[in-house]
Amino acid sequence: MGRVWLSDMLKDGVAREEAEAMVKLRTWNRITNSPVVIIACLDASDVRKFSDVRRQKAEYLMAVQSVAAYIQTLILTAYDRELGACWLCTPLFCQSAVRKVLRLPKTFEPQAMIIIGQPDEKPTPPQRKPLHEIFMLNHWPRQEADLSIDQAPFLVAGMLI
């Protein structure tokens, strides 16, 4: 994985020394120092097949979302047990290399790497956007008339960043 990332960074114009240091720090050290490394995969053979592109795309997207929901649950479970966890999307950029090294079936699509262990630090949680910026009632964008309690609410969520 590191070689693929290094190659990508060099193509993007990152200086070799800087790119090599990033690969070492952000991949090799993180992975080798973690007591638990999980590669979350989507098994494409489990995705229902449809004759049209629209439904096939939706089915595939639901499978990706299912993997993401699993990862979120895994990270919350680790947190509940006072463990640190980090979700890395590195495998998305080098699926063939991950598949080859781990001898995964061709239908397995590596989606993410989750590393779990005792936390090295206790960072301050990032500032979150206020709810009124990411949730709207009935439609996007919010309008003052939307705040009526008399209407049946339909929540529209924006990106949670």
What confidence tens digit (pLDDT) does each residue in 48-67 have?
899 999 999 999 999 999 99
Please determine, for residue 149, whether its predicted confidence score (pLDDT) is greater than 60: no
Percentages (nearest 5) of helix, strand, coil residues in the chain: 50, 20, 35
State the pTM of this model: 0.71
86: how many CB neighbours lie within 10 A of its CB? 14
Give the CATH number of domain 35-123; options: 3.40.50.280, 3.40.50.300, 3.40.109.10, 3.20.20.140.
Answer: 3.40.109.10
Q: Are the C-beta atoms of 114 and 40 separated by less than 8 Å? A: yes
Q: pLDDT tens for residues 100-142?
A: 999 999 999 999 999 999 988 888 888 988 877 777 766 666 6
Residue 19 phi/psi, 5-degree rounding, is -65, -45
Domain residue ranges of the chain, discontinuous segments joined by +: 1-33, 35-123, 124-161
The closest alpha carbon to 44, from 104, 109, 102, belongs to: 109
Q: Are the C-beta atoms of 20 and 6 separated by less than 8 Å? A: yes
